[in-house]
Amino acid sequence: MIAGVSTTYTIAVIGGTGPQGKGLGYRFAKHGHDVVVGSRAADRAVPVADEIRERLAGVAGAGEVSGAANADACEQADVVLLAVPWDGHDELVGALPLAGKTVVSCVNPLAFDKRGAHGQVIDGGEGSAAERAQALAPEATVVGAFHNVSAVLLWGEEEYVDEDVLCVGDSDDAKLVAMDLARAVTGREGVSAGKLRLARQLEPFTAVLISINRKYKTHSGLRITGLPDRD
């Protein structure tokens, strides 16, 4: 365990072969958590787990990284990170064994057209991917976090990304897990940012960052100012 990690978890990264899931899995394992990369089939997950493990060779205190089919990954885990595309989200999430788990959704339901990225309208504007996951898995505790972190920077060379991880949820305990996991990405605790329904704001905010990236040819991120120092 590395200093600054108050707890180490076994984290299933569902959608762990996509760029966001792979990048977050890498950061979590680098920080000492054990990571199970999940995919529809174990033989797609294992090569990604191998790739992450190779990057972590020689990193003192890194956690273990393995690959498994999504359901098997969930069963091994304390915490399940949903990093799946919105397209097919409900069918995939509805089939996972999530009862009793802390589930962190970083799913961004975005659409793209010639005017750029924008948020998809979920449930007539009164929903979000995170709330949908909670409805599909009522015996799990869902929080929203890690929506706005650039996959490129997650897989990059910087020790930490210069961003804040905003965490929303209706359970304070589950939100604290996500806030703790944020240390692996930013080097400090995530920001407690309200109830789960505010995922409606965090998810499509990614479209704003994508627009900024396009304009300024960068990988932008979000920082919250005015907060007390957090470690």
- Residues near a copy of itself (CB under 8 A) are 115-119, 121-122, 124-126, 150, 153, 162-163, 166, 168, 191-195, 197-198, 200-202, 204-205, 207-209, 211-212, 215-216, 218-228
Nearest to 174 by CA among 136, 130, 144, 137: 144
Residue number with CB closer to a copy of itself (115 or 139):
115
Query: Under DSSP, is residue 26 helix (H, G, I), strand (E, B) or coil?
Result: helix
Minimum distance of a copy of itself from residue 192's CB (angstroms): 5
Minimum distance of a copy of itself from residue 65's CB (angstroms): 28
Beta bridge partners of 80: 12, 103
Residue number with CB closer to a copy of itself (64 or 172):
172
Residue number with CB closer to a copy of itself (59 or 227):
227
Minimum distance of a copy of itself from residue 90's CB (angstroms): 18
Residue number with CB closer to a copy of itself (45 or 167):
167
User: Could you identify the residue written with the tokens 């990236």?
Assistant: 213
Amino acid at 225: T
Rounded CA gap, 222 and 29, in Å?
Answer: 23
Minimum distance of a copy of itself from residue 2's CB (angstroms): 24
Minimum distance of a copy of itself from residue 135's CB (angstroms): 17
Pairing between β-strand 34-39 and β-strand 10-14 as defined by DSSP bridges: parallel
Residue number with CB closer to a copy of itself (72 or 90):
90
For 171-211, give the DSSP string: -HHHHHHHHHHTHHHHSSPPEE---GGGHHHHHHHHHHHHH
